[in-house]
């Protein structure tokens, strides 16, 4: 489990297709404190560490993950990615409960500066849009965010300067494909409504 609070921005330094896709991610995390088999959310995708060095770790990425996320179409060498280590008992829960199981990909369709902040409008896949609610939570590229408004499949998020500086959100452009994880609570509420 994760909180959606990004604690490092890593860089994809190598990609190799060998059965599954294998990616090497450079990080400022102290890798001496990371175990083989640990889960690290990389742009919101829970990935398992399979090897590591002084300032990098490797993950294997299955075909299912490539199909459901932006990794297959968007990860290239040099790409910066949001990173978060798994939640430990007693850690501060500053965002919301995030599983790292991406539901689909949303597209950035508009960006507008509002003061020092940036308003970003995204379009969710139709089958996921019903789970996105005003003032609800979503995880976008692993970042816990509050939804401002919703209109059909489109929804708006506001990024303050701090978020743009400590995540990859300062790099985002219209047309980018963004990993979307809907809020677990929203999923269960919708399921209960279907059953009644």
- The span from the CA of 107 to the CA of 125, in Å, is 9
Task: State residue 45's pLDDT score.
Answer: 97
* Same fold: 8-85 with 104-195: yes
H-helix or E-strand spanning residue 41: strand 39-42
- The CATH number of the domain covering residues in 8-85: 2.40.30.20
pLDDT of 194 higher than 90: no
Mind listing the pLDDT tens digit for each residue in 16-65? 998 899 999 999 999 999 999 999 999 999 999 999 999 999 999 999 99
Task: State residue 95's pLDDT score.
Answer: 76
Q: What are the tokens at 196?
A: 């009644």
Q: What is the pLDDT of the chain when averaged over all its residues?
A: 93
Task: State residue 94's pLDDT score.
Answer: 75
Domain 104-195, second-level architecture: Beta Barrel (2.40)
- The span from the CA of 80 to the CA of 36, in Å, is 22
Nearest to 82 by CA among 194, 189, 174, 3: 3
pLDDT band (50, 70, 90) for residue 96: confident
Task: State residue 112's pLDDT score.
Answer: 97
pLDDT of 184 higher than 90: no
Mind listing the pLDDT tens digit for each residue in 128-165? 999 999 999 999 999 999 999 999 999 999 999 999 99
Q: Domain-by-domain residue ranges, the chain? A: 8-85, 104-195
């Amino acid at each position: 489990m994760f909180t959606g609070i990004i604690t490092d921005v890593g860089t994809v330094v190598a990609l190799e297709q060998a059965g599954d896709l294998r990616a090497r991610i450079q990080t400022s995390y102290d890798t001496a404190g990371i175990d083989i088999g640990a889960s690290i959310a990389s742009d919101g995708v829970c990935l398992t560490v399979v090897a590591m060095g002084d300032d990098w770790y490797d993950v294997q990425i299955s075909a299912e993950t490539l199909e459901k996320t932006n990794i297959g179409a968007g990860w290239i060498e040099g790409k910066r990615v949001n990173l978060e280590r798994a939640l430990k008992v007693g850690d501060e829960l500053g965002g919301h409960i995030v599983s790292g199981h991406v539901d689909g990909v949303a597209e950035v369709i508009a960006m507008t500066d509002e003061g020092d902040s940036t308003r970003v409008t995204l379009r969710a896949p139709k089958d996921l849009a019903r789970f996105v609610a005003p003032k609800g939570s979503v995880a976008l590229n692993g970042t816990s965010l509050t939804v401002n408004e919703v209109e059909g499949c489109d929804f708006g998020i506001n990024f303050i300067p701090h978020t743009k500086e400590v995540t990859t959100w300062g790099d985002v452009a219209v047309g980018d494909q963004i990993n979307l994880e809907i809020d677990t609570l929203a999923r269960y509420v919708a399921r209960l409504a279907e059953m009644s």
